Structure 1
Amino acid sequence: MARMLESWRHGLSQTARIGWYAAHYLAVNRMRGPLTPPGEAPFKPQGAFPKWQGMLGEIRKLIEKDAAHVARGTYRAADPLLPLGDALEKSRRFFADMPALDERRLSRGHSEVREKLRGQPGARAYPRYYLQNFHYQTDGWLSEDSARIYDTQVEILFSGTADMMRRQALVPLARWMEGKDQREVSFLDLAAGTGRFLRDLKASWPRLSVLALDLSHAYLGEARRNVKRWRGVQPVQGLAERLPLADASLDVVSSIYLFHELPPKIRRAVIGEAARVLKPGGLFVLTDSLQQGDREDYDGLLEFFPVGFHEPYFTSFLTEDFGALCAAQGLKLVSAETAFLSKVMAFEKEA
C-alpha cells in the first residue's frame, strides 16, 4: 500500500512538472525568431514527422511506465516539485538568457566559447570538439551560469520528460543489482553533468560508491550541490576518452546523453575506455537519443534536431551501430528499450 501511494504521488508530481515545462515550451515558441535563419532554405525532413497527438500519447505512456517502476520498487520516487520561489527564479533565468540563445541560432553562431578561450592557458585542457556552444547555449559547458540554467533548458526542450527518460537507465541496473550488496559495487557515471541522474541513482542505492566524471569544473560544482545529501559521490574532472582509472576496476559504468555530442572517433575511444575499466561481468548502461529506425514516425524530428540546435555530431550518431561498437570491445548487448525520445541499452562485459 505504501508503494502504491508513493507511486500515485510520484505520477501526480511528474504530470504537474510536464504541465509547468510544457507551458514554458509553448511560450518559447511564441517568443523566438523563425526556425530557419534569413537566406537559409526551409528545413524539409526526409523522414516522417510525429503528430502532436501521438507525442502526447507517448508522454502519457512514459509517465505510466515511470510510476509503475516506483510501484514495483525498481527505483525510488523522484524528489517533490521545487518550491515555487525556486521554480520562478529558474524560469526568470531561462527567459533572461533566451534572447542571446535565439540570436546565436539565427546567426548560426556556435564558436563563442572557442573565441573567448583563444590564447588562454586553460584552453589546452579541453579538446577542440568540446569548445563549442552546444545547443547555442551561453558559455557552452564552461561557466557556473550555464550549469545553473542547463537543467531548466533541457526540461523545457523535452516538456518536462528529461528526468523521467534518464530514470529508465535505472531499470537494467536494478536487474543487475539483484542479489548484490550495494556497498560492494563501484559505479562510474561518464559526463555526469549537473548530477541529475546521480540524484535518482543515490536515492535508490544510497550506499553505492560513485565516481562522477565530467570535463566541466562548473558542472561538477552543480553536481556536488545536487547530491550533497548523500555520501559516497566523488567528483572527478577528466576526459571520458582517457579515463584516469585502472583496468577492470569498476562494476558499473553509465553514460547518459553523452554519445550524440561526441565525434565518431571519440565515441569509439570512450567505449573502449568503458570496456577497459569494467570488471568481467560488469555492466555498461548507455542512454541516449533515439536513432533512425527506432521509431520511424520520429525520423523527421531526429533529422531536424541538429538543424534547429547546434548539435554537430548528431547526424552521424543517428546511424551509429552501438551494438557492433560495443561487441568489438567485448561488451555484449543484454537489453534495449525505448522511452519516448530516448533509448536505453545495457551491455555486460564478457569474461
Structure 2
Amino acid sequence: MGWRRTASKTAARAGYAAGQGLRSAWYTAQMQAARARAEGFNRPGEPAFQPSRGKPDMAELRRAFFELFIQDRANIEAGLYPAPRELGLARLPGALKSARAFQQDVKAVDQRRLSRDGSELARTLQEESDFLHRNANRYPEYYLQNFHYQTGGWFTDESARLYDTQVEALFSGTADAMRRAALAQIAIELKGRDQRQVSLMDVACGNGRFLETVLGVWPRLNVTGLDLSPSYTEAARARLAPWRQADIIQDMAEAMPVENASFDIAVSIFLFHELPPRVRPLVVAEVFRALKPGGLFILADSLQFSDRPALDGLLEYFPHGFHEPYYKDYLGWALDETLTEAGFVKECGNLAFLTKVTAWRKPLR
C-alpha cells in the first residue's frame, strides 16, 4: 500500500506542476503580447529609469517564483486547502474571451501610461454632475483615479471583468497562488472550529475572487465582503450568489458600516499599497474595531523594501511603470509599527513571491 500512496503523491505533484506551468505560460504569453503592443515604459524625451537600489537580481526573482509553488504544494499536501482547478476545456471559452478583452484594452492603457495620466477619471466624474449629486461625499478624492492606468478605474463593469486577467498577466499567473498564502492562514485559524459559527470579512474584496476561493473550501463559513467600487461589488454579489450567507457591502474601509466586534477573522489582500499614508492607520483602526477580542487579521500585500533586498530595484520601478500613486510611500511604510500601535499583536509573517503575508491577533483584553 505504501507504494500506491507514493505513486499517488507523485502523480498529484506532477499534475500540479503541469497545471501551474501551463497557467504561468498562458498569462506570461498574454503579458508578452501586451508589451509587444506597448511603446516602452519610458516616456519619449525622458531619461531611462534608473533604480537607486540597484538592478533586480533575476536569479533571486526566479528562485522566489519557484519557492511560491513549492510552498503552495506543501500547503495542499498538508491539507490546508485543496489543489486549485486550472484551465480546462470547460473554462477555455471564458479564458479566451477574457484574453481578447485584455488585449483590446492594452492600447488605451498604454496611451494613458505614456502621458502619465491617472487622474482623467476624476475629471470625467466631475463633469457628470448627476453622478456627483447622487454620490456626494461617497468617494474620497484619492479613489477617483485610474489605478494601474486601467480604463474606468474602479467604476466600470468592464474594469471588474478585466481585473483578474490583468493581475494574473502582470504577475505571470502567480496572483492566485500568492493569495493562497493568505488562505493557508485562514485554514490554520479554522482548524477544529465549526465554520458555521465563524464570521470572516474581506476588506476591499474587489470582484469577490478570493471570497469565492474561501467559500469553495469552507462553504458554510459566514463571509462579508467590503469594497467601495459599485461595479466590483456588483460583480462580487453575482459571483457569490450560490452562497446565501455571503454578504457584500459597498462602502469605505476607513469607515466600515459594521458593528464593533463583529468578526472572528478579517483579511485584506493588495489594499494598503493603494491607500494614501494618512488613510492606512484609519483602516487598521477600523479592522481592529470590527474584530472580536481574540480575532485574527491577515494582511497580504506587496513586498516592502528589505523584505527581499535583491528585488528592491524591481519594487522601486513598479510605480514608475504603472500608475500606483501611493506605492512608493508604501514601500517604506512602518507596517509592523502601525499595527502594533493600533493594538494588534503579530503572530507570524512569510513571503509568497512578491507578496508578504502577516497575521495579527486582537488581544482578548
- TM-score normalised by the chain length of structure 2: 0.92
The one-character-per-residue Cα deviations of 1:80-110 (angstroms, maximum 9, x if unpaired) are: 3152221111111011000000000000111
CA distance in structure 1 between the aligned counterparts of 2:18 and 2:192, rounded to whole angstroms: 32
Moved more, 282-291 or 82-91: 82-91
Matches within 5 A, 1:253-292: 253-292=266-305
Matches within 5 A, 1:153-232: 153-232=166-245
Provide the residue aligned with 1:28 in structure 2: 34
1:169 alignment partner, SS class: helix
CA distance in structure 2 between the aligned counterparts of 1:348 and 1:7, rounded to whole angstroms: 34
CA distance in structure 2 between the aligned counterparts of 1:54 and 1:319, rounded to whole angstroms: 21
2:323 alignment partner, SS class: coil
CA distance in structure 2 between the aligned counterparts of 1:4 and 1:343, rounded to whole angstroms: 29
Asked if 1:152 corresponds to 2:156, the answer is no
Q: Runs of 5+ in structure 1 lacking a partner?
A: none
CA distance in structure 2 between the aligned counterparts of 1:4 and 1:147, rounded to whole angstroms: 38
Provide the residue aligned with 2:133 in structure 1: 121
Q: Report which of the two structures shows the higher radius of gyration computed on alpha carbons.
A: 2
Provide the residue aligned with 1:43 in structure 2: 49
> Match for 2:212: what amino acid?
R
Moved more, 205-214 or 71-80: 71-80
8 Å contact kept, 1:3–1:70: no
Asked if 1:77 corresponds to 2:75, the answer is no
Asked if 1:19 corresponds to 2:25, the answer is yes
> Match for 1:114: what amino acid?
A
8 Å contact kept, 1:183–1:208: yes
CA distance in structure 1 between the aligned counterparts of 2:54 and 2:348, rounded to whole angstroms: 27
> Match for 1:147: what amino acid?
A
CA distance in structure 1 between the aligned counterparts of 2:343 and 2:10, rounded to whole angstroms: 40
**What's the Cα RMSD here?**
1.6
Q: Runs of 5+ in structure 2 lacking a partner?
A: none
CA distance in structure 2 between the aligned counterparts of 1:349 and 1:284, rounded to whole angstroms: 8
Asked if 1:347 corresponds to 2:360, the answer is yes
Provide the residue aligned with 1:310 in structure 2: 323
Aligned residues: 351
1:155 alignment partner, SS class: helix
The one-character-per-residue Cα deviations of 1:165-195 (angstroms, maximum 9, x if unpaired) are: 0110012222222221111111100000011
- 328, 335, 338: which one pairs with 1:322? 335
> Match for 1:207: what amino acid?
R
Provide the residue aligned with 2:118 in structure 1: 110
CA distance in structure 1 between the aligned counterparts of 2:11 and 2:182, rounded to whole angstroms: 23
Question: How far apart are 1:3 and its partner, in Å?
Answer: 7.4
CA distance in structure 1 between the aligned counterparts of 2:238 and 2:9, rounded to whole angstroms: 28
Q: Percent identity?
A: 44
Moved more, 46-55 or 323-332: 46-55
The one-character-per-residue Cα deviations of 1:172-227 (angstroms, maximum 9, x if unpaired) are: 22222222111111110000001121122112211110001111121112223333
